[in-house]
Structure 1
Amino acid sequence: MRSSFPTIFARKAELADRFYSHLFVHLPEVESLFGDDFSKQKEMFAAMLTYCLKGVANSQSLPQARAGLVKVHARFNLGPREMELAGKAVMAALEDVLGNDLSTKQREIWEQAISGVMQLLLAETDTKLAPQC
Structure 2
Amino acid sequence: MSMHFNGRLNNCLGKVYACRHEIVDRFYELLFEERPDVKDMFTGDFHKQKEMFSMMIAMLARATATGQGAAEMGNQIREQHEGLDIEPELFIRSGVLLRQAFVDVLGDQIGDFEKVLLTESIGRLTAAAAGRQPCLSAGSDAKNADGGTEG
Deviations 1:56-87 (A, max 9, x none): 33456546533431222222222242122201
Matched residue SS, 2:130: helix
Worse-matched range after superposition: 1-10 or 55-64: 55-64
Is 2:55 the partner of 1:47?
Answer: yes
Q: Find 2:109's aligned residue among 86, 90, 101.
A: 101
Distance 1:10 1:20, change over 3 A: same
Is 2:71 the partner of 1:70?
Answer: no
Percent identity reads 25
Distance 1:84 1:58, change over 3 A: closer
Is 2:65 the partner of 1:57?
Answer: yes
- Mapped partners of 2:46, 2:117: distance in 1: 30
Deviations 1:79-121 (A, max 9, x none): 2421222011101110111111233333333333222221111
C-alpha RMSD of matched pairs (Å):
2.4
Distance 1:87 1:17, change over 3 A: same
Worse-matched range after superposition: 8-17 or 69-78: 69-78
Q: How many Å apart are 1:20 and its aligned residue? A: 0.7
- Mapped partners of 1:34, 1:10: distance in 2: 24
- Kindly indicate which of the two structures has a greater share of residues assigned to helix: 1
Is 2:124 the partner of 1:121?
Answer: no
Aligned residues: 124
Q: Which has the larger radius of gyration?
A: 2
Aligned to 2:97: 89
What residue identity is the alignment partner of 2:41? L
Structure 1: segments with no counterpart, 5+ residues: 125-133
> TM-score, normalised to structure 1's length?
0.77
Matched residue SS, 2:33: helix
